[in-house]
Structure formats: structure tokens, C-alpha cells
Amino acid sequence: MIEEEIHECRIVIVDGVGRQVVTVIEVLSPTSKIVGSRGRASNEAKRQDVLQSPAHLVEIDLLRDGEPIYTGERFPPHEYLVHVSQRGQPPKGILWPILVCQRLPVIKIPLLPIDADAELDLGDILNYAYDRAGYDLIVDYHHLPPRIPLSPPTDRWVSEWLADHLSK
């Protein structure tokens, strides 16, 4: 059996002068949310490497499927999660639980102490990617229920949102 090498994409912000890694932004992939998978083990090892380094860590989980990477934590109900851990903070950092019905947040990306945080508008980025990919031309939202069932309140909100936006 030939095992495929796992390549997880990430964004690494590097100091242009000192060439040191300042911030690592990780967008979780489906393999990082499968318990016992090589992808999850790889993701956990990379997370520990960054948390033990002088770099900041930003993790973005926009996947409703799979086992959350922060298990055992007590959060309000959520479908998505963003984690920002600044160097020198406790490993948990700041966690944003997000519902489908909420606009994705603008998150602050920590940089060097002499620089202001950069703002990353996740909602704008998602909308841009959705429009560029033409998903509205591919996905029939009238007849396609989500593969991962929504909670009853979220399902009601999505139905109302689609009725309002698809009728225009």
C-alpha cells in the first residue's frame, strides 16, 4: 500500500527584516478533523510547534463536519470556530464560536509588537471565493438539503434566508 503524503495549506507571515515567522494562519481541512487520522496528527504536531515558538497562531475552522479540534471545551452552540493565540498568551488564546446565521467576523491577525494587528474579514473573503467559484450556478439550494443536518433553529433560519434571497 502506498500512502499519500498529506499537505496542509497554511499562510505564514514572515518578518521581512529578521526573516522570522511572525504568524501562522491555518485553515482547517477535513483531514484535520478526523480522529485518529494522519491529517489530525499532523495538524496537532504543527499546532504544538507554533505554540512553542515565538510565533502567533490563528486557526480557522469553517467545517461543520468532523470532530472539533477543541474537544471537551465548553462553548455556546456553534458551527464554526476561530482561534487566535498570541505569543505570550495562554495556549487557548481567544476563541470565537460562530453560528451559521452570524456573519463571519473580522479577526485581528497579530503581527510584530511594533505593528498594528492586520484585520482579516472572513465574511468578505468567503463571499469573494463563493462568487469567484460560481457556486450559485452549481448548487441548487431549492432541492439540495445540507449533507450535514442543521439544528432545527439553524434550519429554520437558513430556510427563511434562502426564501428571502433566492426569490430576488
pLDDT tens-place string over residues 17-47: 989 999 999 999 888 888 888 888 988 898 8
Instruction: Report yes or no on whether pTM surpasses 0.75.
Output: yes
Q: Which helix (H) or strand (E) holds 154?
A: helix 152-166
What pLDDT does residue 114 have? 92
% residues pLDDT > 90 (the chain): 38
Tell me the pLDDT band of 1, cut-offs 50, 70 and 90: low
Of residues 10 and 128, the one with the higher pLDDT is 128
118-121: long-range contacts (C-beta < 8 A, 24 or more apart)?
120/25, 120/58
The residue among 12, 44, 49, 14 whose CA lies nearest residue 28 is: 44
pLDDT at 99: 92
Q: What does the alpha-carbon distance between residue 69 and residue 40 come to, in Å, rounded to a whole number?
A: 8
